[in-house]
Amino acid sequence: MTRHFTTIAETSDDDLRRIYHVALGAFDDTTLAGQGVALVFERPSLRTRAASSTAVSELGGFATFFSDEEIGLDHRESAEDVGRTLAEMYAICAARVRHHEIFARMIAATGDRLSLINLLSDVAHPTQAVADVLTLAEHFSSGDVAGLAGLRVAYVGDATNVTRSLCVALLRLGAHVTVGAPENYQLVAGGLEDPTTVRGGGALRLVDAASDAVRGVDVVYTDAWVSMGVEDETAQRRRDLASFRVNSDLMAEAAPGAVLLHCLPAHRGDEITDEVLDSPSSLVWRQVFHRRSAMRGVLRWIKEDE
């Protein structure tokens, strides 16, 4: 059965454990020897593109980058025909897409011959969540992801694709997550990456004030106020989210020794201030480092099934 990695929620606990485990193995192997990975980006990227192409190369494969301008998913030709074409030449298609439903359409069209990896969609950012888990485990529990049970995490700002995958991943590991967001920017139940349906793990709490979210927590996480695709709402979002900026006053309400995470790119002065992003409590560059570890984990896990 061809493996896909499009949300955290649709990946079993055993598979996630395996991904976290193989992510940190040595990279001089031949997992992808002679095999190609198509990297399709409908939206801009620095970290994800860099992490994907370097991880593919470390595992012995080759990556080809396709921009939206070149292939025009559902404009130049259908997503199904793009999938059918890539399946003739590549083992894996890793894609950053505007519309998450493209993954299911490509999987249906390729008869399960092409593995799909979600490199960010409107619904989820699961490879980011793997990197975030690896970063927190490295800091708090000597790399043991099981050691994150009971960790107190606050997400502050706009509840985005990143928030949903992060929450599902952390709740499944038994961490407790509070999301602090204004009503119109808060997590809503439903969809394929739904933290509100995670059972038996940590507790999810939704609050409408940043200080309520961060009080006493071990980790503060934030993401852009203006995600890709909603740039025309920039002025409104700056007004609505102004009291959710992560600054040193807000960090002071967290537990002593609390750390700061941000998926990046950062919008310094909007959702995050320089003094926090550049402080010793910031783990953002370890997160960037682990984007590549996470990609290795996902790629290895996909190929292990053969």
- The footprint of ligand CP (CB under 6 A) covers 45-48, 120, 128, 263-265
The one of ligand NVA, ligand CP, none whose footprint includes residue 95, by CB under 5 to 8 A per kind, is none
* Residues 242 to 281 in contact with ligand NVA, rule: CB under 6 A: 263
The CB-side HSE value for 236 (13 A sphere, CA atoms) comes to 7
CA distance 123 to 76: 24
| Residue 183 Cβ vs ligand CP, minimum distance, rounded to whole Å | 26
Other C-beta atoms closer than 10 Å to the C-beta of 68 total 17
Nearer to ligand NVA, 61 or 180 (CB): 180
The one of ligand NVA, ligand CP, none whose footprint includes residue 178, by CB under 5 to 8 A per kind, is none
Nearer to ligand CP, 116 or 206 (CB): 116
The one of ligand NVA, ligand CP, none whose footprint includes residue 227, by CB under 5 to 8 A per kind, is ligand NVA
The one of ligand CP, ligand NVA, none whose footprint includes residue 53, by CB under 5 to 8 A per kind, is none
The one of ligand CP, ligand NVA, none whose footprint includes residue 46, by CB under 5 to 8 A per kind, is ligand CP
Q: How far is CA 245 from CA 115, 224, 232, in A?
A: 38, 10, 20
CA distance from start to end of the chain: 8
The one of ligand NVA, ligand CP, none whose footprint includes residue 63, by CB under 5 to 8 A per kind, is none
- Nearest CA-CA partner of 125 in 4, 8, 38, 296: 8
Q: Is 51 in the site for ligand NVA (CB under 6 A)?
A: no
Contact segment (CB under 6 A) with ligand NVA among 60-68, 89-97, 159-167, 290-298 equals: 159-167
The one of ligand CP, ligand NVA, none whose footprint includes residue 223, by CB under 5 to 8 A per kind, is ligand NVA
CA distance 171 to 53: 30
**Order of strands across the sheet that contains 259-262:** 204-207, 176-180, 152-156, 219-222, 259-262
Q: How far is CA 181 from the centre of its chain?
A: 19
Q: Judging by DSSP bridges, how do beta strands 115-118 and 92-96 pair with one another?
A: parallel
Report residue 295 as tokens. Answer: 């990609």
Contact segment (CB under 6 A) with ligand NVA among 104-112, 139-147, 179-187, 222-230 equals: 222-230
From candidates 223, 272, 282, 296, binder to ligand NVA by CB under 6 A: 223
Q: How far is CA 246 from CA 78, 153, 157, in A?
A: 41, 14, 9
| Residue 70 Cβ vs ligand NVA, minimum distance, rounded to whole Å | 21
| Residue 83 Cβ vs ligand CP, minimum distance, rounded to whole Å | 22
Instruction: Return phi, psi of residue 206, to 5°.
Output: -115, 125
Per CB under 6 A, residues contacting ligand NVA are 120, 160-162, 223-224, 227-228, 263
